[in-house]
Amino acid sequence: MNAAIIAVGSELLTPTRMDTNSLFLTEKLNALGVEVVQKHIVGDHRERLESAIRYCLDHVELLILTGGLGPTEDDLTRESVSNAAGRALGYDRAIVEALEARFHSLGRKMQEINKRQAYVLEGAEILANPKGTAPGQFLRLASRQIIVLLPGPPGEMKPMVEAEFLPRLQKFLPPIALSTVTFRVTGMGESELDSLIAPTYKLYENPVTTILAKASDLTIHLRAQAPTQAEADALTAELAGKIEAILGQRIYSKHGEPLEQIVLSLLEERGQTIAVAESLTGGLLGSRFSAVPGASKSFVGGFITYTNAQKQTLLHVDPRAIAEFTEVSESVARQMACSAQQLAKSHWAVSLTGYAGPDGGSAENPVGTVYIGIAGPRGLNKAVRYRFPGGDRDRVRAFASQAALGLLRTELLAK
Ligand code: ATP
Ligand code: MG
């Protein structure tokens, strides 16, 4: 079955509010094998809403609307569906009585205007709303298409979806088994990854493949559906095997764990420890390590040396190196890592120094330039220069911490 979602509400077209209902709905629908093929966001405007509904009914089997079920004049969902789908609205006394009882139990008197919420599309089932006043509706048309009306507030919509909507929907869906595989990859850009694996995954419609990118951390999702679990698993296994063969070690996680957790596991397997020395990331890397439960087995702590003075005082960076090469240099990165390793008495240390921007940098080393230093067992001490797209401070810092973890993983696997 395929589906469209219409999020109704003029506030969703402003810069301050975002349609999140459709994300929740899509997750739930995908889990049942229903694919969302369209989403629309429409303001509180009768003609526009009706035309969006008509458009969806021309294209999909399931149409879900959220919002616009309130009692006020600008809540137009019921009337618009009625017009577009050609189903009359009937007045449901039971809803009014339930509304009156709800207001009474809250010690308030129901307003006349709330009666607007008692209009139900002819033939629709009522979806109870224990968290609010607007009931939902579930309507099956002669065309076998299904239209569902849900309230806008997420706190009302979500429980209604779980308790009222999905159980009804399931009766119209074939039994289905789902299989998913998640790979996480780092050290390359989204387009580079896609150009490597697209020729392979494009050959498959089932599983569906999606790539999610965040600060050079890429997640590949494979999702297959089949009548039985064994068949669904076989579908994902076949494509997963091919993708693994292409990417090899660039896949750092096959079960969704973040890179910091993988690095800590590698350290723990080797009985080794790590310290950090951070300048531009100001503790971001240490924070990522310490967020992993049980991090203390391998993560000892570290140094935040933001100014040159701190780099000299805490990490004994040679002022002559700073004068000669600047603080964003291979020499300084190596010294920071080396000192951190010695002072923390850890097996490994990683350092970060660079220009996060938006200002600063030099012609040679513009904003986005980062040196990552590593000190490790058997005298390993080196630094690698990175150039991340400049201009966005948070992104540079996120990229830098990710690159440091990626570099560590590579060194750990090589040892
Ligand atoms: P009410 O009885 O509260 O008026 P309603 O069904 O008419 O219910 P709306 O008026 O459309 O719902 O939305 C109420 C509030 O719910 C909005 O102000 C917004 O905060 C939230 N909301 C509505 N739609 C969405 C959406 N698609 N995603 C996230 N939040 C939403
Ligand atoms: Mg409303």
**Residue identifier of the C-alpha nearest atom 11 of ligand 1:** 67
**Looking at ligand 1, which atom is closest to the CA of residue 67?**
11
Closest C-alpha to 74, from 108, 95, 48, 38: 48
Question: What is the model's pTM?
Answer: 0.67
- Residue 69 CB less than 6 A away from ligand 1: yes
Closest C-alpha to 115, from 84, 140, 91, 88: 91
Ligand nearest to C-alpha 11:
1
Torsion angle (degrees, nearest 10) of CA 271, 184, 290, 333? 80
d(CA 49, CA 42): 6
Closest C-alpha to 3, from 46, 34, 41: 34
Choose one of 21, 26, 80 to mutate for the ligand 1 pocket test, by most ligand atoms within 8 angstroms of C-beta: 21
Phi, psi of 7 (to 5 degrees): -90, 120
d(CA 218, CA 251): 9
| Bridge-based pairing state of the strands 274-278 and 177-186 | unpaired
Encoded amino acid at 292, one letter: V
- Intra-chain end-to-end CA distance of the chain, in Å: 51
CA atoms within 13 A on the CB side of 225: 13
Adjacency order of strands within the sheet including 299-304: 299-304, 274-278, 348-354, 369-376, 380-387
* 282, two tokens: 């100001």
> Tens-of-pLDDT digits for all 415 residues of the chain?
999 999 999 999 999 999 999 999 999 999 888 999 999 999 999 999 999 999 999 999 999 999 999 888 889 999 999 999 999 999 998 888 988 888 899 899 888 888 888 999 999 999 999 898 889 999 999 999 999 999 999 999 999 999 999 999 999 998 888 899 999 999 888 999 999 999 999 999 999 999 999 877 899 999 998 989 999 999 999 999 999 999 999 999 999 899 999 999 999 999 999 999 999 999 999 999 999 999 999 999 999 999 999 999 999 999 999 999 999 999 999 999 999 999 999 999 999 999 998 888 888 899 999 999 999 999 999 999 999 987 789 999 999 999 999 999 999 999 7
Ligand nearest to C-alpha 117:
1
